[in-house]
Structure 1
Amino acid sequence: MSFGFWSLIPVIVIIVFALITKDTFISLFLGVATGFIMVAGGNPIKAFNGFLETLTEVMTDDNTAWVLLICGLFGSLIMLITEAGGALGFSRLAERFLKTRTASMIGTWILGIIVCVDDYLNCLAVGAAVRKITDKERVSREMLAYIINSTGVTVCAIIPFSSWAAFMGGLMEKADMLGGYSVSGAYIHTIPYMLYGWLAVICVPLFILKVIPLFGPMKSAERRALDTGEVFSAQTKAQLKALPDEELKFKGKKCRAFNFLAPIILVAVLTVTTEDLLIGVFAALALCFVMYLPQRLMSVREYFNNIMAGLADMFSMLVIIILSYTLIEVNGQLGLVQFVVDIALKAVNPALLPATIFIVIGLLSFASGSFWGLAAIAFPIVGPLAAALGVNPLLCGGALISAVAFGGHICLYSDTVILTSASTQVTNAEYFRTSAPLVGVPFVLAAIGFVIMGFAL
């Protein structure tokens, strides 16, 4: 079933209500409800039954279970590290080097690039590590969220040993887009064409150093933080739990940075070697048990209480993830992806194909909330189309990977935005409102770049 242009309505509802209410859950719920009412032809009972069936499918899906376990248990890991004084110890260590406001933001940017193994790990770990430092330097949490997410999904896309490389390389092989290289070789040769990823990462220090002046809501957020010391917006603060004063809590106690670094490094190493982030998280939880109890940082009871407290802190985020996946499913039932791809990509000038791929798939990724799933749908279409029009397949692959990276960077109901928001304690809606104008800069530059490269190559 395809609703054609009308399949865009749920997405429009979400964006409009996100801007009005500044509440992610309400916006997502209304968008999902709109989608199911459309599928059911306006019948509320049929729409509710469709929602329940799809929700059941989402909840029993292996990928959903994996993501929920990752996010929930990472909340537990962060709670353990925090309660052991590891996060404070790392912050104190970093403060020796990051002694100015600009240095704290550049340091966050560099740390985000270093933690490039997996975008989930990046979003969650970097925020927990630096937010105390940036708070001290009066950096708004909105700006912190922008910096972290700009070095998350984008860096993972342009690094050849990340989870993105393994997945996207496999899709390029199936679409016959290797250009005579091996899977790894083709991905490496595609990296220079991932313009959006490069530009998104490069723009961050340009904004920090004021080479490109801040503008829009982010400029206001930064002015608020600088003038008043209030790093949270009023909307975010209203939904934020009171946080304990870590300095007071750990007064007179030795807080070791090693208690932060060892579990995080273990997660990164095992993610690379096993290609499964979940194994790394479980191993890190076990390492915390082995490390923290002998140091008398917590008892066995406190260890497990912290695990449960971390899960509880992540609960609202887990609900948003489930709603997001349900939205992706109803968008599929509405025929959103196929409608846009069929119209946009099959009536295009060969030289403009890379730019068209980037713009259309990028906007579709932003609208649908689908990234890897969208790439899996689009690669089998883009591959034969590039071959038929005689366009460089690696350039088209770079444009497509850039497009889905853009969606992950800004869509307010994407996994990475949800995780970044949880890590920096801002709402998804606030992240979208303040970051969208800044993200628009590399998007426009990348689109221009793909036009130039399309004609040149």
Structure 2
Amino acid sequence: MVSMQFANTAFALLPPVVAILMAVITRRVLLSLGVGILLGALMYNGFAPMATLSDIADRAIGLVIDDGALESWNVPLIGFLFVLGMTIAVINVTGAAKAFARWARQRVKTRRDARLMTMMLGFIIFIDDYFNTLAVGSVAKPVADDHKISREELAYGVDSTAAPVCVMAPISSWGAYIVGLIGTVFAAREITEFSALNAFLQMIPMNLYALTALALLACVIVFNLQIGPMAKAAQRATETGELWDDSKGLPPGADLDLPEADNGSIWGLLLPILALVASSVYFMLATGAANLGDEPFTVMAALENTDTTIALFYAALVSLVVALATAFYQKLTPAMISKALISGAKSMLPAVYILLFAWTIAGVIRDLGTGTYLASLVQTTMPMWCLPVLIFLLSGVTAFATGTSWGTFAIMLPIAADIAIASEMAMLLPLMAAVLAGAVFGDHCSPISDTTVLSGTGAGCHHIDHVSTQLPYAVSAALIAGLGYLAIGITHSAIAGFLVSAVALTVWVLVMRSYCDRTIAMPSASQA
């Protein structure tokens, strides 16, 4: 008998808070998530031991089996990780990664250029955040390694151009999902002033966190603003050559000790990546079109109805076939290829374990009503000047605690619409934009977010090291965006909010440049 004693109350915050605090303090992610899962399941089942164990077992099985069939989201994503790990390993044994690093060395001559390349790749590969984090990390890694850029810094660059770009791109899995949610919200409330797509496009300049996070990343790259734990990681990489903390072992997705062919070509890396990009777009449109039924085909409609993880799994298989074809063309031995396939799959196991635990605690948190409780804290009787920043912060807390920005969108967008209808309709789009911004912020900071896990995996960085080094930048971007939302609430002007955030960002950069000049030994011009 399931107990609902703690559901939709402040006690529902305990499992994620305990898991996150333990992860930060102990740096043992799986243990921390396991404790959070156990605590949440005990609360959900009225602290009945046998019911709790049965519930956890059912949740674990439910991650892979749903109504007698394979689960349609988790299983393909896990398959995508394993296949991509094998593809990366095959690329390594062909010598293509080494060849790409040699080629890039002639063109990407400085550390700053290497960082900018990572950022530009994040803008180019915007179709999906999962795909973005793993593909960008794989391509940028050999160049970043060549310039002794720490894996923590690479993971920050990957993560900060994944969700912030996808959440503002209408032609992406995120954009389609958000447009679909907005359309549902508008239809249920008979809002006819905007179409869903038009509303989404108008909200882009109001998505102050996403804009600030991208601008802040550019400033960090250009001015070499290494602060907090990131500065220590950068110093370790440049002075000792340790790209990650060796004392913690090999991070998920890190290069393994594999033999490399001497006749590698950059096409051995570019062709599999291009195949991955092209086939991802194709399969996302194809699976979306298949789900449309008799509805007319449009790109937005297809993306809104696509099976993202299934499409990515198929695309990864195509990429693996191309990588294998390259290996056979180079006449690599079957022993080298088989070792690469096995090692590549094994390299993804740590990320898969973390994802499975993160999905489990997310299910427990959902059933306890953690997100619902947080959403209930908003009062429509509050003055309008504080509502945009309040919704931004509450969306951030919800995404941080639940580990999902998409779930936060689904919870908070209807609430934002209802608040605007009940108070001032002109604030509808700013309030909904604050939801999108806050959800991405919380997702960026959360150790139980799948995007955070995959960003570290793609960059070959220890998970908690990625979280701790990125946190000061994410919080800084949130504070800057929060000032902008406060200005929107006071002036009812999106332009005012944008300008306030721009000024705040400028001040932050000036202060941090002065701080870094005083406390951090800056590299020479040839190194920067």
Q: TM-score, normalised by structure 2?
A: 0.79
Equivalent position to 1:282, from 306, 314, 318: 314
Q: Residue in 1 aligned with 2:454?
A: 419
Q: Give yes or no for contact 1:358–1:402 (8 Å, CA) kept in 2.
A: yes
Q: TM-score, normalised by structure 1?
A: 0.91
Matched, 1:220 2:226: no
**Alignment partners' CA distance in 2, 1:164 and 1:3:** 28
**Alignment partners' CA distance in 2, 1:242 and 1:426:** 7
**Alignment partners' CA distance in 2, 1:179 and 1:129:** 44
**Alignment partners' CA distance in 2, 1:344 and 1:73:** 44
Q: Any gaps of 5 or more consecutive residues in structure 1?
A: none
**Alignment partners' CA distance in 2, 1:345 and 1:360:** 12
Equivalent position to 2:366, from 332, 337, 353: 332
**Alignment partners' CA distance in 2, 1:225 and 1:340:** 40
Q: Residue in 1 aligned with 2:62?
A: 57
What percentage of aligned pairs have identical amino acids? 26
**Alignment partners' CA distance in 1, 2:336 and 2:318:** 14
**Alignment partners' CA distance in 1, 2:365 and 2:15:** 8
Matched, 1:450 2:485: yes
User: SS at the partner of 2:134?
Assistant: helix
The C-alpha deviation readout for 1:356-400, integer Å capped at 9, x for no partner, is 111001111011112212211222222222211114222122111
Matched, 1:384 2:397: no
Matched, 1:435 2:466: no
User: SS at the partner of 2:63?
Assistant: helix
State which drifts further: 105-114 or 86-95. Answer: 86-95
Q: Give yes or no for contact 2:252–2:347 (8 Å, CA) kept in 1.
A: no
Equivalent position to 2:278, from 248, 266, 274: 266
Greater radius of gyration (CA): 2
Q: Give yes or no for contact 1:236–1:430 (8 Å, CA) kept in 2.
A: no
Matched, 1:207 2:220: yes
Residue 109 (structure 1) shift:
1.2
Measured at CA, do residues 389 and 35 of structure 1 come closer, stay the same or move farther in structure 2, by a change above 3 Å? same
How many residues of Structure 1 are paired with residues of Structure 2 in the alignment? 455
Matched, 1:320 2:354: yes
Q: Which structure's relative contact order is higher, taking Cα pairs within 8 Å and 6+ residues apart?
A: 1
Q: Residue in 2 aligned with 1:111?
A: 121
Equivalent position to 2:194, from 181, 202, 206: 181
**Alignment partners' CA distance in 2, 1:301 and 1:376:** 49
Q: Residue in 1 aligned with 2:24?
A: 19
Equivalent position to 1:251, from 255, 262, 266: 262
Q: Residue in 1 aligned with 2:400?
A: 366
Q: Any gaps of 5 or more consecutive residues in structure 2?
A: 66-70, 287-302, 493-528
Matched, 1:351 2:385: yes
Measured at CA, do residues 55 and 241 of structure 1 come closer, stay the same or move farther in structure 2, by a change above 3 Å? closer
User: SS at the partner of 2:382?
Assistant: coil
Residue 231 (structure 1) shift:
1.4
**Alignment partners' CA distance in 2, 1:307 and 1:28:** 29
Q: Give yes or no for contact 2:94–2:264 (8 Å, CA) kept in 1.
A: no
Residue 91 (structure 1) shift:
3.0
The C-alpha deviation readout for 1:406-450, integer Å capped at 9, x for no partner, is 122221121111111111222211111111111111111111111
Q: Residue in 1 aligned with 2:498?
A: none
Measured at CA, do residues 313 and 297 of structure 1 come closer, stay the same or move farther in structure 2, by a change above 3 Å? farther
Q: Residue in 1 aligned with 2:430?
A: 395
**Alignment partners' CA distance in 2, 1:95 and 1:321:** 35
Q: Give yes or no for contact 1:418–1:428 (8 Å, CA) kept in 2.
A: yes
Q: Give yes or no for contact 2:41–2:56 (8 Å, CA) kept in 1.
A: yes
Measured at CA, do residues 98 and 271 of structure 1 come closer, stay the same or move farther in structure 2, by a change above 3 Å? farther
The C-alpha deviation readout for 1:96-137, integer Å capped at 9, x for no partner, is 221111111111111111111111111001111122221221
**Alignment partners' CA distance in 1, 2:407 and 2:359:** 11
Residue 192 (structure 1) shift:
1.0
Q: Residue in 2 aligned with 1:91?
A: 101
Matched, 1:405 2:440: yes
Q: Residue in 2 aligned with 1:142?
A: 152
Letter in 1 for 2:156: Y
